[in-house]
Structures are given as structure tokens and as C-alpha cells.
Chain A
Amino acid sequence: MKSKQSKGFVIIASKRIAFYYSAINLIESIMDYIPDAQFALFTEKRFLDQRAEDPNIQVFDCEDHIRSKLYGMANSPFDLTMYIDADQECQHEDIITIWDQIGDDDMKFVELTKDKRAQGSFVEVAAPIPSTGDKIDLTLCGGVCLYNMKNPLVKNFMQDWWDMFVVQDNYYEWSKGRKNRPKEDRWFPEDTPSTMLRWDQFTLWWLVNKVPKYKELSIGIFKENYRWNWFTSFRQDENGNHHLVNKHPILIHHSASMNKEFIA
């Protein structure tokens, strides 16, 4: 008999209370369409209020770290997990199809396409590593990720993503003169452009392309791609139609436009 898979959303709100407010809005916006959806909210104790006491929300503590999202992803209590950046909002009933999206894959991402409008929305999308001849190409977006934690390799992948990003970030902070030289050895080539070290997508690119054991993983792209992570920077046309999608987006990403300084 097939054992029952637990399914739930992982949301992380660290560093700024604005992310907590937005995370609560995201959770409630999903509940508008899936009232019994299960959530794991990783946040800092200082942000919590009574809204997180909902029986459908499990609360976990996380560090005041810029990419606590990776810690939360690696520690999801659910078998089938949908991670969503806290500065998103659910706006379409098709969210109910989320668990079917995994298909036969171990992980599903939204892909950054070569479209000019999409490319222009991101600070950095590619860079070379001269010593290895590699070209880093950040095509997988980390804004959402659907993954199957029942597969131990996926679990390892998520843990490595967090552990390796912490090292990479320490080197980035050191390169900016904000931290002492890291104690850990660097896992990435010394001539990796330091600007790349800011991005968890770089770690993701490395894991997917450079770590042999993860070649076994089946990594897919959401069928309707940007509907699952539609950035407001993509804009709408004069008739209100969202660019780069054929139907109203399911998840709207307010990445650059959200007021992160907001304090109630």
C-alpha cells in the first residue's frame, strides 16, 4: 500500500518584520483557495503574533540570516514541499493543482527564460569562471521550489544548498570587508566572480551542474513557468494582461516593489 505523503508549504520570514507581514499575507492568500493547506513558517521569535497560532501553521525558529530560506527548505516537515518566497501573494485558484505539478520529478523550479523582459528583471544572470572554463548561467529561479523530501538525495541537496551558501556568503562578506576571513575552505573556484557569491542561485547552479551525485535527480520546470512565480517587474500591458504568461499568474512576486522598511 502506498504510504500517505504529507504535503505543505514552507514560508520563511527572517531579518525584517516586513517579510513576516508579507508571509502572513501569503499564507492567508493561499488559504483563500485551499482552506486546509498546511504551512511551516520559519521565522524569528521577535516577529511572531497571534496570526501564527493558526492550527494549520507550524512555527519553527530560524536565524537572522539573509538566506534563512535555505535552512527552512532543508528542514521542511513535509514530504512534498512547496517553498515560496515570503514576498509573494497567491492570486489564482489554480494553486489547488500544486501537488500534481511534481509529476515524476524530484524537484520543480521556475526557469528564467532568455526573453528580454525577463532577463532585464534580474541583476545578474551569467558570468564565467576562467580557471574551469565554466559559464555560470542562473536559469533556475529560487523564488519557488516544489520538491519531494521523501527522496533522501533531495534532502541532502537541500542541506548542501544551505551549508554551501553559508560558506559562500561568508566569503562574499569578507570580499566586501564586512567580515574576517572565513575559517571554512571555499568549495567554489577562487576566481569565481565575487558578485556571484551573493546569490543562492549560484549555489543552486553549482549543485545542479557540478556535483555528480545530484545528476541522478530529476529536476523539472513548472509547465506554465512564470505563472508560478510572476515578478511584478514583468509588468502588464494596457489591457491588464500579464506579460510572459497566457493566464492570470498563480503567484505574484513583489520582489523589488515591496516596502521592506515597513513597520506597523
Chain B
Amino acid sequence: MDKEWKHPFWENYQKDRITAKLIINHSDGKTSSSTATVSKYTRDGKLTEDYELIIAQNGIEKIDKNTKEREDRHRQRHETEKRKRSESEQARKLEHLFNAKLEVFEIDSIKNSTNRKLKSRIRKAKNIYEMQAFLGMLVQEEYNNEIKTK
């Protein structure tokens, strides 16, 4: 049986733990593989056999390089996910804003209002708060008109 360690990377900044793919070539010709994490030291402070084998098969530089590439990949994925979440949140807000505007325009006093300027300001509002501010102004105006005509 012989062991082959592939794609190793440091698990921590102390560089005393390595994760790698372990391929075991068995004496009956069969091969098995798994992912394993190996510590640098045994309990009594000696270097572990597997650690020494990984270093011998791959070299420190290769492990450093793999670790950096892995970190970069993770960082990039994290940034992409963050960007997607932010875009999705922004889209959700705009969708909500559009649907809210359609509902607002169906309120009787707004629907029947002839004040195109304020209706336009409601329509062009960039967020729900701006929309509500102009909506309040228009409702107030319509209310005042109603009082006057009574």
C-alpha cells in the first residue's frame, strides 16, 4: 500500500494543519481516495509521518500556492455572491416600488386627481419614502379641495 497526497493546502495561518486529497494504492491493485486533514505534530511534539510525506511529495511552495489560489477563489465567490445578493435586493425594492405605485394610483382621490405634476412626481419617485411624501402632498391637496367645495 502506498499513499499519494494531492492538492494540499494549509488549513490555518500557523501552517500546522494541511488538508489534501489522499489516494491509496492498495496491494491488490485497487485504489481508494478521500479528503483528509493532517496535523504537523504528534502529541509529543514530533513531526507526523503523513505531514512529512505531504511535504516530500508536494513541497512547501506548492502548498503555499494552492492555499493562495484557494483563498482567491473563495474571496471571488464571496464577492460575486455578495454582489448578486445586493442586485437582487435592489431589484426586489424596485419591483415593490412599482407595484406600490400601481396600487397608490388606484386610491380614489389619487385616481380622480387632475394634478398631473404631483402624480408625475409620485411616478418618478426613486424609493418608497419619496413616493409616500408626494402621495401625502396630493392626498392633502385633494382633501383641502373637498373641504372647500363643501
A: residues with CB less than 8 A from B are: 18, 21-22, 24-25, 28-29, 31-32, 49-51, 89, 91, 232-233, 235-238, 240, 254, 257-259, 262, 264
Contact = CB atoms under 8 A, between A and B. Distances in A.
A21 B104 CA distance: 11
Contacts of A259: 99, 102
Instruction: List 3 A-B pairs, minimum CB-CB distance, nearest first.
Output: A264-B106, A257-B95, A235-B87
Contacts of A28: 116, 119-120, 123
Contacts of B101: 25
Interface residues of B, number: 22
Interface of B: 83, 86-88, 90-91, 94-95, 98-99, 101-103, 105-106, 111-112, 116, 119-120, 123-124
B116 to A, nearest CB: 7
A29 B95 contact: no
Contacts, number: 64
A32 B123 contact: yes
Contacts of A232: 91, 94-95, 98
A254 B95 contact: yes
Most A CB atoms within 10 A — which of B95, B116, B124? Answer: B95
7 contacts: A21-B102, A233-B91, A235-B91, A236-B91, A254-B95, A257-B94, A258-B99
Contacts of B120: 28, 32
Contacts of A89: 98, 123
Contact of A264 (B94, B95, B99, B103): B103
B130 to A, nearest CB: 14
Given A18-B102, A258-B95, A259-B102, 9 more contacts: A21-B105, A24-B105, A25-B101, A25-B105, A28-B120, A235-B90, A258-B99, A264-B103, A264-B106
Contacts of B99: 257-259, 262
A25 B119 CA distance: 10
Nearest to B96: A257
A25 B102 contact: yes
A236 B123 contact: no
B88 to A, nearest CB: 7
Nearest to A89: B98
A184 to B, nearest CB: 37
B54 to A, nearest CB: 39
A238 B87 contact: yes
Contacts of A25: 101-102, 105, 123
Given A235-B88, A254-B95, A258-B99, A29 B123 contact: yes
